[in-house]
Amino acid sequence: MTEARDPSTSPAARRAVLRQAASIGLATGAYGLSFGALAVTAGLDIWQTMVLSLLLFSGGSQFAVVGVLGDGGSGQAAVATSTLLGVRNGLYGLETAQILRPSGWRRLAAAHLTIDESTAVAVGQPTPGLARLGFWATGLAVFVGWNALTFAGAVLGNAVGDPRRFGLDAAAAAAFCALVWPRLKVTDARLVAVGAVLIALTMAPLAPAGVPVLAAVAAAVVVGVGRWGSP
**Do residues 185 and 169 lie in contact, with contact meaning Cβ atoms separated by under 8 Å?**
no
Q: Which residues contact 217 (CB under 8 A, 6 or more apart)?
A: 84, 196
Region for 5 from its dihedrals, namely left if φ exceeds 0, alpha if ψ lies in -120 to 50, beta otherwise: beta
- Which of 28-37, 41-50, 150-159 has the highest average model confidence (pLDDT)? 41-50
Q: What is the pLDDT of residue 184?
A: 74
What's 58-89 look like in SS3? CHHHHHHHHHHHHCCCCHHHHHHHHHHHHHHH
Q: In Å, how far from its chain's centre is CA 147?
A: 13
Q: What is the pLDDT of residue 202?
A: 87
Task: Give mean pLDDT, residues 46-55.
Answer: 94
The pLDDT tens digits for 178-204 are: 656 666 777 777 877 888 888 888 887
User: Any idea where the domains of the chain sit in the sequence?
Assistant: 7-181, 184-231
pTM of the predicted protein model: 0.73
What's 120-187 look like in SS3? HHHHCCCCHHHHHHHHHHHHHHHHHHHHHHHHHHHHHHHHHCCHHHHCCHHHHHHHHHHHHHHHCCCH
Q: Say what percent of the chain tops pLDDT 90.
A: 27
The pLDDT tens digits for 137-153 are: 999 999 999 999 999 98
Q: Which residues contact 20 (CB under 8 A, 6 or more apart)?
A: 121, 134, 138
Query: 29-46 burial by CB neighbour count: b if 16+ within 10 A, else e?
Result: bebbbbbbbbbbbbebeb
**Do residues 36 and 156 lie in contact, with contact meaning Cβ atoms separated by under 8 Å?**
yes
